[in-house]
Amino acid sequence: MTRLVLKWVLNAFALFLVMKLIPGIQIDRFQDLLVGALVIGLLNAFLRPVIVLLTLPVTVLTLGLFTLVINGLMFYLAATLVHGFRVSGFTTAFVAALLFSLFSFVFNMLVRKDT
């Protein structure tokens, strides 16, 4: 349970860094940052696999690059679902999703339990 909370906080920190680095992203309050990270995580856990499966032919044709577009869509959708979380457009969401994925990957690797 504590690892899950730690990953959530790390993803919220990754979202904070993305907000600071990309000008088209605005998050009003700290609570919106936490909710935004939670919504991104839930969308990636439940909705993203369905969309990846539905767009599998396009993903195969683009050699997997369409997955980056799906990540941008999930980020943009999360911004529309959370009240104090705004993204100026899809291009901004696309770049933000790339940075968010990179930051959260690095942060989660730092706290990864070695098996």
Q: What is the pLDDT of residue 114?
A: 59
Q: What is the pLDDT of residue 50?
A: 97
The CB density around residue 12, as the number of other CB atoms within 10 Å, is 21
Selection from 44, 86, 93 nearest residue 69 by Cα: 93
- Looking at the 3D structure of the chain, how many domains does it have? 1
> Does residue 51 fall inside a structural domain?
yes
Residue 107 has pLDDT above 70, yes or no: yes
> Does residue 98 fall inside a structural domain?
yes
> Does residue 6 fall inside a structural domain?
yes
Q: What is the pLDDT of residue 24?
A: 95
> Does residue 115 fall inside a structural domain?
no
- Tokens found for residue 49: 């696999």
- 80-104 pLDDT, tens digit each: 999 999 999 999 999 999 999 999 9
> Does residue 36 fall inside a structural domain?
yes
Name the pTM for this structure.
Answer: 0.91
> Does residue 99 fall inside a structural domain?
yes
- 6-19 pLDDT, tens digit each: 999 999 999 999 99
Owning domain of residue 106: 2-110
Give the mean model confidence (pLDDT) for residues 52-66. Answer: 97
